[in-house]
Amino acid sequence: MRKLSELNLNKKRCLVRVDFNVPLADGDVQNDFRIRAAIPTIRHCLNQGASVVLMSHLGRPKGKIVEELSLEPVAYALEGLLAQEVKFSTDCISTEALKVSEKLGVGEVHLLENLRFHPGETNNDAKFSERLAKHGDIYINDAFGTAHRPHASNVGVLDYFRLSAAGFLLEKERKYLSGAVKSPKHPFVVILGGSKVAGKIDLIHNLLKQADKIMIGGAMAFTFLKVLGENVGNSKVEADKLSVAKKILSEAEKQNVEIILPADVVAAPELDTDSPWRVTKLDELEDDESGFDVGPETSMIFESHLEDAGTILWNGPLGVFEIPAFSTGTHSIAHAIINETEEGAISIVGGGDTASAVESLESGMNGFTHISTGGGASLELLSGLVLPAFKALDDHE
């Protein structure tokens, strides 16, 4: 795909697909991480003498207008980050919206209303794509969060542009997430968490090709522990994925990849902020107790395996970090990764819940080499799949 730095943007209208799918509450943006991630691309375009038209989705309105999913609050948040006016149109393909884009002067910014208010976006409709394309002279994709979706704004619209490029964020996401799997700096240590094995089967198989060690926490660890005959109490086990977990463990042994699983957990009778909890070894788990976080011994074991790592990839929290009693393991591993990054390791944090877990730290999102803005997109890219938005840019001449 063509790089943004290769294009002459002077006096051009840049139509930029961004990912402003951010949480809103009472008409205000609650987390501007994804908006901030797009700022470098927007500023570059403006500094090069261009005007910028931004398009994004928000939520899942399913082709209908849902007032609570309007991007208007995002326009206000963006004005604060850019320190300039952001024009906003209440529709993305209306004649009025197109007129605003056509009259933009150098250095001006125009944000379009939620793309998914039209069914043509998710259907990759040709007429919808053609209408969107009228907003700009050059197409730029900087929306990694939707790169795994073959939609009009990141695939179909390219049919109506002569010039296109990847934004700085998209380029960075591909560099780190794809590069981590294809040519990592060894030792390559992977930390996997989250609730289910099911969503990470392809990811694990792909990582086994390059990883030196894989540490598994979160609820998904109990399926692997069950296969090994460990006591898991009442912890969540995916019964239909036991055979899959067994095959993964067998394949890891063949590939000489070390799999490290929890030795102790923070357990409770139920997942509740008021539920009594305790730290316990696996073999001392009661029948009515479930593990909701890795224990301190496991945290120390995991941290010891991170020492001298060349590349660290982390996807999935190690416990239910939203509840303070079950957040220690996730926070401990985050601080350990930050320390190793300071020592020269390349650290890559997957998007979605992992990024949210990192943001809950006192230090915030500082100290990591790269934090992905994509949940499903990062998972698919790390799994070795071809993302439709990447292919569209690669194929575009």
User: How long is the chain?
Assistant: 397
Count helices and strands in the chain by DSSP H and E runs: 15, 17
* Amino acid, single-letter form, for residue 169: L
| 289 token code pair | 């107790």
SS (H, E, C) 145-191: HHCCCCCCCCCHHHHHCCEEEECHHHHHHHHHHHHHHHCCCCCEEEE
For residues 265 and 285, the answer to whether their CB atoms sit within 8 Å is yes
Of the candidates 156, 352, 374, 375, the residue annotated as catalytic is 352
Active site residue 376: yes
H or E stretch at 28: strand 28-29
* Amino acid, single-letter form, for residue 358: V
C-alpha span between 334 and 331 (Å, rounded): 5
Of the candidates 12, 13, 17, 34, the residue annotated as catalytic is 34
Active site residue 352: yes
User: Do β-strands 370-371 and 311-315 pair in parallel, antiparallel, or remain unpaired?
Assistant: unpaired
* DSSP state letter for 104: P
Residues in Cβ contact with 232 at an 8 Å cutoff, skipping those fewer than 6 apart: 222, 225, 226, 282, 285, 291
Of the candidates 43, 376, 384, 391, the residue annotated as catalytic is 376
Of the candidates 196, 236, 246, 391, the residue annotated as catalytic is 196
Q: Which residues pair with 158 in a beta bridge?
A: none
Burial class of residue 23 in the structure, from the number of CB atoms within 10 Å of its CB (0-12 exposed, 13-18 middle, 19+ buried) = middle
- Residue in 327, 394, 397, 338 with CA at minimum distance from that of residue 364: 338
C-alpha span between 225 and 268 (Å, rounded): 18
Active site residue 241: no
Residues designated catalytic: 34, 196, 352, 376
